[in-house]
Structure formats: C-alpha cells, structure tokens
Structure 1
Amino acid sequence: MANPTAGGRLLPLLSTPHKGGRSALTCQFRCGNACAHDVANTTGNTYFGDVVKEALSRRGVLRAGALGALVAGAGIAGAAPALADQPAAKSAGKGHGGGDLRFTPVAPNTDDALTIPKGYRSSVVVRWGDPVLPDAPAFDFEDQSAEAQAKQFGYNCDYVTLLPMGRDRALLWVNHEYTDESLMFRDYTGGAEATEEQIQIALAAHGGSVVEIERAGHTGEWKLVTEGRRRYNRRITAQTPMAFSGPAAGSDLLRTAADPKGRKPVGMLNNCSGGTTPWGTVLTAEENIDQYFVNGDKVPAAQKPYIDRYTITTGTPEDNRRFDRVEERFDLAKHPNEANRFGWVVEIDPFDPDSTPVKRTALGRFKHEAANTTLARDGRVVVYMGDDSRFEYIYKFVSKDRYRHGNDRHNRSLLDEGTLYVAKFTGDSPDSELDGSGKLPSDGEFDGSGEWIPLVSGNRSYVDGMSADEVLVYTRVAADKVGATKMDRPEDIERNPVTGGVYVALTNNTNRTPAQVNEANPRPSNKHGHVLEIVERRDDAGSKTFAWSIPLVCGDPKDAATYFAGFDKSKVSPISCPDNLTFDKDGNLWISTDGNELGSNDGLFVMPVRGKDRGHLRQFLTVPVGAETCGPLVTSDQRSVFVAVQHPGETDGASPDKPSSHWPDGDQPRPSVAVVWHGQGRKIGA
C-alpha cells in the first residue's frame, strides 16, 4: 500500500504501519498510531478470563431479576438534561424499554454521501470553517489564518449535545477532537517543516464550539443562526485560559514555570466525547493527549515510568505536529509537568461565554472517551468514564454531596469532592465452556458480577504508596495497583433512561490472544468489538457492586462468533467497532461506529434492549467515504438525530490535490455536524 503524498512529496507521517479499518491518516493524526506501539498496560492484572474461577458467592443475589426489572434513577439521556430532574423512570417490567422501530435499514455501502432511510431527509447544520463569532470571516480553504480559525467552527467534530432555549431554539456544543493537517493544508509534509501559521491554525482548530441553532419551521431540521447578536456563540481552543479544581489543583505535579501555583492550565486537546450535567453544563473529555508533546524521554528519571504509562512521545519524531515550535510548553525536556495538565474532564458553561473552563481533577486523568452523568438514588452525582486504549479500565465517580435542583452554586462544586472508583469484573462460567467460537455457555449468557474498587476520596488515597494527587494525576498507575480488570478499549458509557442499565462500548482489541479469551471477551483478536451492560446492585448508580452481561458481540451476522441478544441473526444489520452510544426516550440503544472492519462505511445503528425486538439491530445511516460517525444525539422529542461526521475523506492516498471525498459541498471534504429527520414529521425510527 503506497503512502499518501502531499504536493508530490512523501509524507514522513505515514511510514509507520497501522492496523484495523482506519486509514493510516486517521491512525497518525487521531491517536498518534497507538495500535502500532506496544500496549501501555504491562501490569499483571487479571483479564476477565483469569477471574472466571473466582465467581462471587453472591452472584445469584446480584443477578436475580436485575436484568429484567431496573430503575433508571433519574439518568441523563438524549438532548434533555432536564431528565435528571424528573422522578425515577419506570422499570423495564412496566415500561416497554425499547422497540417500535419500523424503518427500512440502510444497506452497507461505500458511497460518498450521508445515506439515510427512505422517507428521511438530512442537512448540514455546521461545518469546519463556518463563522462562529459574529466578526468571523467566511471560510477560504486557500487563505486560512489562525486569527480566522479561532473565530470559526473547528476541525474534526466529535461529541455533540443540545441545550434547549425554548422549543425551537437551542445551543449546540461540539467537540473538536483533532486536526489532520495533511488534509487541511496543501503541501503539508509534517510538523518539522510546517509554517508557524499552520501550527497556530491547528492549535485554534482544536477544542470546542458553542453555536446557536434554530428549528426550521415545524420540521425536525435545525439550522445555524447566522443573523443577530448570537451572544452565546463561543470558540474554545488549545490556547484558551482554564482552571484546575478539585483535590489535585495546586499539586506539585501540575506546576510549571508559567503557572507556579499549578492552578491555571492553558487549553484542551483531543476532546473526544463528553456528557451533560443535570445543571446544564457540558463535560468534555480529553483523550489521546500523548501525541502532542516531544522529548518525553528527557523528563526526570522519577517521572519517566509515569510518562511511559501514558505513552508520551519520546524524542522529536517527524510525525509529530511539533506544537513546541510555537509554544515551548509542549517540549517536556523544558517543561516536564505540562503533559500532566492534559487528559482531564473539562466542565464548560455554554450559557456564559465569559466563564472559565474548569478541569475537574477529582475525575482522574487518563485517555477519557466520555464522562456521562446520572444521579444515584440518594441524589449524589455519578459520572461513568472509560479509558479508550487496549487493556485499559472503566471508572466511576460518585460525589460526596447531593444534587439540589435549582441551586447552581452548590451543584457546581459537586464534581470536586467524591470517590473515584475503577471496575473489576468476574465471570461465572467455567473455562471449558469458553472456546472462542462465540458459542454461549450453558447458562445462556456471557455474564457475571463485579465490584467498584475505590481509588481516592478527596485527599484520602486508597492506593498503597500513592498520595491522593498522585492517584488523580497518574490514575492509570493507581488502577494498575489495585488490580482493576483490563478491557478492550472502553469507549462511551451511557445509562438507559428507561431501564437504568449502563451500557459500555468496547470498540476492539486485536491484541487479545486465544489464551485471554473468556466470558466477557468471547473471542480472540477482537477486531469488531462488543457492547457490555452493567446493572448496578439495587438498581442504584451509587452502588459498589453490579451484575454484567454482553447483549451484543459485533461483526458479520453470518459469523458464528457474533451475538445479537438472541435475536434471529438473519434479520439484523452487520456492525463493526462500536464507539459512541446514546438512547432515545423509549430506551432504544443507538450505536455509532469507528473503523468498520467489514468493508463498508461507518454508520449509526439502533437496537431495542428489551421486549420481543431485543437485539434486532438495524442500520439507520452511513457516513461518507473515510468518515467516522460521532455524536450521536436523539432529541428529546425524537424528531431529530444529530451526527458529527468526523474526518470525511481521510483515506490512504488522499490529499487536497487528490481528495477521496467531496462531502458535504462538492469540493474539499469538511468535517460537519448533520441532522436527520423524517420528511412527514414522524418520530425517528417509527
């Protein structure tokens, strides 16, 4: 396979081999070719299979009725943060918990289009370069500037959430995860040779955007507000002043020459997914931050093991963006603590464009995919988080104090004090029944039980040999020490607003060997991924124990190793590499994919999780060539579906002179947020 070129020159960025359904461009710019590197987690912690024989004696208590009668406990879902203020949702035994989906599924394809079911319509809401601030210039691909980009919609859009401002108007928050300079600029040959202006543009294209949108008439279409003051519109970038809060704020591990008190970080990077709080703020999660730094091998010797655990770049490789050429802080030989200032969950108030974004240290530091909130039975705030790397962990934060409806001042402090947990899973079937073929064990399910192991609570560490701020800054190391369970790239984690089940997207892990096959990872070389359900004990998000099961093992339904919750596999759509999740108001699970290994474009799928259609997975849309499906978001009235179409045209051999996608406007590909609705105003999927 030939490497892509720019302006006739070989791109040094793409000489490293890559794996999976992603292109070399995506592997390089999105995560720094993580799959080509050694697995960062080299600890001897148990895999699921290693603990199968340790089945908890209370398994029957944990599972009895748990998967059939659940309480939502006031979770967050779709585009309605206000759901957190409502009484507990009906149990699955009383509500229908999903189903009532009647659209004709979209067939797998490789078209350069947003392909949707018959009877539906779509449009682009906002695209890379569209003006965000009122004085922003119109986008000009051939004449970009950092000053303009700081006022325009950023690059690769990921997490989206909607914050209502009445029935027909809302604020749209969008993450800008990463930049692909080889598609943004002509003749780009790597960070070492990039112009300083190009580097500054890339810094400005990271972060996030707040834009006002409005409904088009009485339809499910939404459009960008382009006239008037647009007082809430805002761009947040890699250069926006921020603040640390929580137990690690001010720690020696966060102090730098520019910030000797360790309380004022600058900017956010690689923001993947996120969440929305019950009080109407946005949580945006920093993920693959390791690739932005140089000279990780030149930090003090005592810090080197921690740098390695986070796969921080060593030396000054030619495939690095070389942000250090314009901002010295990205050179760890000079500023070794700067990397510790990234990898956090950031809280942003979209209704206050003058507010300072806050990095909440109590939630820990790792490669966050998302940070989704719900309420425990007693009103404490719970945040579910996954560390998106091979053999990494699943986390949960539970606040010390309770949420108070309408008490904004009180609620803004809830994420600064509480307990951070990491998950340990136990299977319940003998090894002899797990042969990697996908055949269910004798009890009819891939399932088991688990516990949440405490890591830190305020200034109290539960990890031997580590202080509280060390646990929070080096959370991966702390989780290693307490024996957390290694997972297959835990990505988005969402709680079903109807049933209360917590669903985890495990995207893939081709490094899993046959010896590591077990009940919760039922096949080796897991290139298609699976979805796991957690049911908290007593249906309480604040519980310390849970039951788990796997309702979906992804891949080609013709493959015996796939599983669709027992549904007839001749009637389901093929799916590969689940990434982001969401639920509609009826409790149906929506799944977006990233890196489809089945030869089709990525897409958005929906699956009922209860009732007669449980497991009946159908494809709702596909995204254009080279793109990943992000978001997604189903509005609370179920009349609109938002998807972020990330990195269209990011394929091997693509460049501005040879684009492989022309979506959405027929010229250069531009990452964009799109909306889909039914042409006759019907509920999505009905």
Structure 2
Amino acid sequence: MLSAEENFQSQVPEPVFADGSSLVPSQRPFLCLERKLYGLGNVYGLAGNKYGWMVEVDPDAPAQQAVKHTALGRFRHEAVAVRAEAGQPLVVYSGCDRRGGHLYRFVSSKTVADLKDKANSRLLEEGELQVARFKPDGTGDWLPLRPDTAVDPFLPSRFDQADLACPVELPNSDREQAVAELFRDDASVQAYRERYPTLASLYRGDGAAMQGAILVDAHLAASAAGGTPTARPEDTKIDPISGDLLIAFTSGSPGSSGGADPEVFQGPEGQATWPNGWVMRLSDQGENGFRWRMAVTGGTPWAGGLGFTNPDNVAVDAKGNLWIVTDRSMKGSAGDVFGNNSCWFVPRNGGANGGQDETAACFAIGPMECEVTGVCLDRPEKTLFLAIQHPGEVHGSRQQGDEEFQAHELVDREGTAFQQLRQLPLGSNWPAQAPGRPPRPGVVAIRRSSGQLLLGV
C-alpha cells in the first residue's frame, strides 16, 4: 500500500538547498490556532527534506518497517496510480497538489515478472522520474528529471497573454538560497536559462548525490525543466478498460506563486481560468509521448459544467463508469451555489468515456462543511465507500437553531433564470445527528438493502 501527505509543508520547511539539504526546522515556526497546528516539525526538530515522499506499508506485515520510495520524487503527493503489466516496466503516476503543480511519471529500469510478487516493490528503487509537458493541441511529452536535462521553463508571457498576473516559480538563481524565486518576465527567464543550461548546473553533488538533490527538489526541478504548471492535480487512476490515466484537476484558479497553463486548462468557453476543475483522460503514446483531453468539466450546467465543482478523488468501476467526489472550500461564498461536497456518477457512455454528450448524476451528498474523499468500491461492486473529512470545518459543532439563509440565482433546463432561497444549518453534529454533539470524521459504506450489485445491472 502506498501512502503520502500532500500538506507536509505546513509542518516542516519545504525548500531545500542546491545539494538537497534542508533548512533548519525553525524556518517553519510553531503556530497554534483555534482549529489548526502548524510547524510541528519545529517542535520535534524534524528536517523538512525527510518529508514529502511516497511511502509503502504492507498491511499483512504491520511490524515490517515502512519503505520511503525516494525515486518517486519529493513533492506534494496527493495520490498515486500504478500501471503493472507482465514483461513491462512498472509505471507510477502522481500529481503535486498545488496551484501550478506538475504531473509526474516514474518508469522502472527493470520489468515486472509476476504481477502478484511483493518483490515488485524493489522495482521502485531504480528508474526515471519524469514530468509532463502538455501542449495545447492535445499532445504532450514526458521530460526526464536527470542532470543532463535542459533548463527550459514555462514562460511568464504565456500567463500575460491570458491577462493573468501569475509568476513562474524556479529554483533560486542564488544557489546559496533555498527559497524559490518568482519570475515575471521572459527576459529574466532567458537570462536564467543562459546561466543555468541544465539541471546539473542548478544542483550540486556527484553522480547519485546530484540525482538525489534533483529528486528532493522535484517540484522546482520540474519547473526548471519545462514541466507544465497545472490545475492542482489530485487523484490519479487507471481506466481498467482503455488503460488511460484519469487525473482529477481540482481547480484552475491562480495563486500567488503560480497558476495553470491557460492554453491547456480552459473553461467550457475558453476561459483562461476555471475554478471548478476537470477530470483529464491521458493516454501514453510511444516511449515518451502522450495524448490528453478533458473528459469531464466541473461547473454549473448553465455555464457548461456537469453540476459539481472541485473534483478531488475518482474511482473507476469494472464497466468503466467514473465516480467522482468533490472538495470545494467551505470558507468562502463563491462556491455556495454547489452546496455540500458530494459524490457523482459519470456513466461510461457519457462524454467522459468516448461518447458525444457528457452526463453526470449526484449519487450522495456529504454532511455540512465536510470534504468527501476516498471513493472506492469493493471487489464485487456491491458497496461504495466514502470518507467524510472534517465535518463542521467552519462553524464546528452545530447548536440548536444555528442556521442561515442563502439566495442563489439558478437557470433551468429551458435557460430561464430563477431565484432559489436555501435554509442551511451552520456547523455539524455528524454522525450523531444531535445538536451540541461534536462532529467527527468517518467512513461510510453505501450498499443496496437487497444485497444486489450497487448499480443493479
């Protein structure tokens, strides 16, 4: 089982020096707020470069030491998809959950012999980490993250042309500094390229030590190599029928240190930013190429979306139907029209899977102020599991009578606008359903009372 934490940077310093060594723990100060703790690594003296890795644990051997797979790179791993085929290299896909984060692929040096052999884990020790470079025409390339890779960053003018005030984040041009540097014009990037023509000129060490420094600083190394800044790639899954990779990109909104390529991550009408997210379908082509297309688009139906926002995790059943769970922020009013986070069903014969018309249906709605995540099916596909995270995140425990009214303008199927008034509770008592009780996270299992297949077919 592979596991990672995408928000490690809130507890330990994320930046590293050119040789991969970490900042001192005090660079991430300890901070205790009403609902959150930051900088716990400072309290315990933890080095930041030890965190941000994909870790493997064996549930059948709980006493066995966990394995940190450093060849997969250090970044804000949100999820992982594994492609294992007999006689082929082991391939692992993962996204870096940040605005402007990249999509990565690891290809093992050796091939898989027996799909059931636990020794396949050793294949993750040797191989090549690559970053995706998307092209607007629906194609792309996997760029290797190795010392001889040319420095060729995404240019700030591509943001400027879309009227976006986004910088490009690169390893600091003063290689004695660990913190990233933000570039806002092409001339500065060109001067940077001339000064640092390859990743070897940016990182220090000999042989494996230099490769290690690149892997420790994978996000910035990928930015320097020309990896495409994307729209917060979260989950990755392999379609069991087509073999395509499905990627949940949760939001195309820009941030202070970067944003998504506006020529790739566009709204339904070509908008340069789209806050509601997508699910992309990617098909590897040849050794280092791929094709991609947006299979599912978030947003309101009258604006070209399927009705949900901010896809976070996905699952694919045996028939290729897509299940999506959402994670919109509950801390702002911009997405309130979408209501609570939820689980959606996208049938195989919809646009997400080769048809002409996208369709989606809301399958389940989460409690107040929660994130719905971890969607998965049991092997017979009679039960769907959902994880409910941080219910009551904004208002905490709901007290008797705590509520608010929201007015929203919606559009019906005929295109007629109308007003909707909603009466909403504030906070949550889930799963107790009793006022004053503290909300708690949990896992929900959804099945038919008859015991039949979940879809009934």
TM-score, structure 1 as length reference: 0.48
Structure 1 residues 492 and 661: alpha-carbon distance in aligned structure 2, compared to 1, 3 A threshold: same
Q: Which residue of 1 aligns with 2:76?
A: 367
Q: Is the 8 A contact 1:450 1:545 kept in 2?
A: yes
2:290 pairs with 1:546: yes
Q: Is the 8 A contact 2:86 2:115 kept in 1?
A: no
Offset at residue 681 of structure 1 (A):
2.2
Q: CA RMSD in A?
A: 3.3
Distance in 2 between residues matched to 1:477 and 1:326, nearest whole Å: 23
Q: Which residue of 2 aligns with 1:587?
A: 320
Q: Which residue of 1 aligns with 2:44?
A: 328
Q: Which residue of 1 aligns with 2:144?
A: 454
2:161 pairs with 1:471: no
Distance in 2 between residues matched to 1:301 and 1:456, nearest whole Å: 17
Q: Is the 8 A contact 1:384 1:397 kept in 2?
A: yes
Deviation by residue 1:311-363 (Cα, 9 ceiling, x = unmatched): 99644445472665994314xxxxxxx11000000000000111111111000
Give 3-state SS (helix, strand or coil) of 1:381's partner: strand
| Same amino acid, percent of matched pairs | 30
Q: Which residue of 2 aligns with 1:604?
A: 343
Deviation by residue 1:271-324 (Cα, 9 ceiling, x = unmatched): xxxxxxxxxxx000121111113xx59x9987899869xx99644445472665
Offset at residue 514 of structure 1 (A):
11
Structure 1 residues 407 and 478: alpha-carbon distance in aligned structure 2, compared to 1, 3 A threshold: same
Q: Which residue of 2 aligns with 1:517?
A: 262
What residue identity is the alignment partner of 2:430?
W
Give 3-state SS (helix, strand or coil) of 1:389's partner: coil
Greater relative CO, 1 or 2 (CA 8 Å, sep 6+): 1
Aligned match for 2:359, one of 592, 608, 616: 616
Q: Is the 8 A contact 2:86 2:111 kept in 1?
A: no
Distance in 1 between residues matched to 2:353 and 2:317, nearest whole Å: 13
Structure 1 residues 476 and 406: alpha-carbon distance in aligned structure 2, compared to 1, 3 A threshold: closer
Provide the aligned length of Structure 1 versus Structure 2. Answer: 355
The 5 A counterparts of 1:286-365 are: 286-293=5-12, 314-319=28-33, 321=37, 324=40, 327-330=43-46, 338-365=47-74
Offset at residue 403 of structure 1 (A):
1.9
Aligned match for 2:109, one of 400, 418, 431: 400
The 5 A counterparts of 1:45-444 are: 282-293=1-12, 314-319=28-33, 321=37, 324=40, 327-330=43-46, 338-376=47-85, 378-405=87-114, 408=117, 410-428=119-137
Offset at residue 380 of structure 1 (A):
1.6
Distance in 2 between residues matched to 1:413 and 1:514, nearest whole Å: 35
Structure 1 residues 454 and 415: alpha-carbon distance in aligned structure 2, compared to 1, 3 A threshold: same
Structure 1 residues 640 and 655: alpha-carbon distance in aligned structure 2, compared to 1, 3 A threshold: closer
Q: Is the 8 A contact 1:290 1:312 kept in 2?
A: no
What residue identity is the alignment partner of 1:558?
W
Q: Is the 8 A contact 1:291 1:313 kept in 2?
A: no
Q: Is the 8 A contact 1:424 1:483 kept in 2?
A: yes
Distance in 2 between residues matched to 1:613 and 1:683, nearest whole Å: 27
Q: Is the 8 A contact 1:489 1:508 kept in 2?
A: yes
Q: Is the 8 A contact 1:494 1:582 kept in 2?
A: yes
TM-score, structure 2 as length reference: 0.70
Distance in 2 between residues matched to 1:637 and 1:312, nearest whole Å: 50
Q: Structure 2: which 5+ runs fail to align? A: 152-197, 204-209, 330-334, 401-425
Distance in 2 between residues matched to 1:622 and 1:486, nearest whole Å: 31
Q: Which residue of 2 aligns with 1:223?
A: none
Deviation by residue 1:632-671 (Cα, 9 ceiling, x = unmatched): 00122111100111111112x3258898211112332110
Q: Which residue of 1 aligns with 2:168?
A: none
Q: Structure 1: which 5+ runs fail to align? A: 1-281, 331-337, 429-447, 564-572
Offset at residue 472 of structure 1 (A):
1.1
Structure 1 residues 301 and 490: alpha-carbon distance in aligned structure 2, compared to 1, 3 A threshold: closer
Give 3-state SS (helix, strand or coil) of 2:302's partner: coil
Give 3-state SS (helix, strand or coil) of 1:488's partner: coil
Structure 1 residues 619 and 313: alpha-carbon distance in aligned structure 2, compared to 1, 3 A threshold: farther
Distance in 1 between residues matched to 2:18 and 2:81, nearest whole Å: 34
Aligned match for 2:384, one of 613, 621, 641: 641
What residue identity is the alignment partner of 2:432?
D
Structure 1 residues 656 and 401: alpha-carbon distance in aligned structure 2, compared to 1, 3 A threshold: same
Q: Which residue of 2 aligns with 1:577?
A: 310
Offset at residue 525 of structure 1 (A):
3.6
Structure 1 residues 318 and 610: alpha-carbon distance in aligned structure 2, compared to 1, 3 A threshold: closer
Distance in 1 between residues matched to 2:438 and 2:363, nearest whole Å: 26
